[in-house]
Structure 1
Amino acid sequence: MTIQMAKYPVVHVWRSPQAPREIDRPVCMDPPDLAAWLHKMKTEDRKGLGGRLDTQLLLGEPVRVLQEEDGWFQVVVPDQPTHLDERGYPGWVPSTHLIDHPDYSRAWTKGPLVHVTATTSRLCRADGSILFLSYMTRLPRVGEQDGDVWVLTPDGKTGLLPAADVITASQLPVTDPATRIDDAQRFLGLPYLWAGMSSFGFDCSGFMYRLFQAGGIRIPRDAHDQFHSGRPIPAKKLAAGDLVFFAHEQGTGVIHHVGMMVDHTRFIHSPRSGFPVRINRLTEEPYHGECCGGARYEKP
């Protein structure tokens, strides 16, 4: 197995090389056009991503390549824990969307890393090009200029990020629930995206994953695993910052949704295709009937 890095601001991890549809062509091209894809898709197109698209990578995020087949890499994502594969989240990525540059690999391993904490940030590259980066993109720091930060990109080139948009750290500090909640509320109104792991569109568990990552805590990628990996909290004892889960069959079946408590009655979440990030009350249906408890994460 070899290690490669995501080459673009958002790289899609598909269920199989045959999973993308014609409408998904913009994000399978080299380079991908995320903005065109998001603009083109209607609500039904977004719903159709289920069973096709499984997760996303951010610029510079590492994967392990298992094999290559007809221009696609089969990969696992080590930083996205899952019960599906102990090595990391599995899937398929166009081979042109990954890159292995020795300078970047050394810098990534050595650190420190620059973490994008703004909802999005503008990376001005030394070659004059511009990339728009998602919240929680991580890149090696290589210097500073007039207070802004030079970073290394996976192709071995450098770029400048605004200092106000980032934190430099080997490991982000663990934040309190109030900070995570404030962070979450910056995304109110952002449209839902199945398998979304970026601030250009989150799914429910991807939203929680990135919020906790920003708070110095790594949790699993999917809601089912997030429920079983944290400290169990009964529904009646949920507090601000806890994850709250919802299951089919009036809360007794398969877990299908997750949000984060804002206080003891309200939670913030990315609901489903056609609906943006918003705050609801646990007393509302279908949430009241489907609530199956919560999980608390307090340590990295």
Structure 2
Amino acid sequence: MTVLVTGGTGFVAGWTIAQLLSRGYDVRTTTRGRRPAVEGDHEVVRADLTSDDGWASAMSGVKYVLHVASPLGGSGDLIGPARDGTLRVLRHAVDAGVSRVVMTSSCAAATPPPGSTGTFDETLWTDPSLKFDEYRRSKLLAERAAWEFMRDKETSFVTVLPGAVFGPVRSRSNSGSVRVIGRMLDGMPGVPRVGLNIVDVRDVADLHIRAMTSTAAAGERFIAVSEFMWMADVARVLDVPARSLPNFVVRAASLVARDLRPLVPMLGRSYTYSHAKASSVLGWDPRPARTTVLECAASLSQRAS
């Protein structure tokens, strides 16, 4: 029983591959030429979300596809590669007769309007008419396009929507969102008033595999979030300086510091997500956020030493 995991160099993909191997699955993963995040007994094929080359052979003999790969940041267009790359993977999976595709979306595709409070779940879709950053729009439009494409296909489809993914890193090169923890450990002049809906990367991997095999998961979205923490609370857990930066300081700094710009729409947000559906349908039981933060920091410190 072969599982294809796309984007094998990534943070989530690395842990997903490792868990699949530990559970006895045959694993194949795609990369754009870089070494995958996991060394071990699995097949690596070259395929890129921007080209059809390699995808037909990557899908050959595959029962399940976990589509984890996605553009993450930097300059340039994210929406086109995220949406078109997702549709490319889905077309090849359907053509190959894959039984099920589980796609990694994001809570970015279930973002309430600015100023919202309370607890939200998978029934929420980000309003595309609202002004959000390009990453958030790319995740929304990619997932929307995916559901539209898969509507009448025999291949079943599931999406997993993680929050802020932290946890132990397998290497410094595939740390993803863990950079937030790394910056705190390295020393920050202060922390913005930003709330994080935290989830452990190992629990995200586990939820993908549960969604892959459960008959009840077909045609469903699943929020992957453990707990909400303010960045200042994360800093206190890490025992690092936690002086809060006023919102106007962050906004002003973002005019010259590009990496701060995605934080601006998040300033002051205090809404949370419920993982009740993943727990009730799939038996998913995520780790406490504090545990995730501490084990993430420990792994970063170990890698740096």
Query: TM-score by structure 2 length?
Result: 0.29
TM-score normalised by length of structure 1: 0.30
Bigger RCO (CA 8 Å, 6+ sep): 2
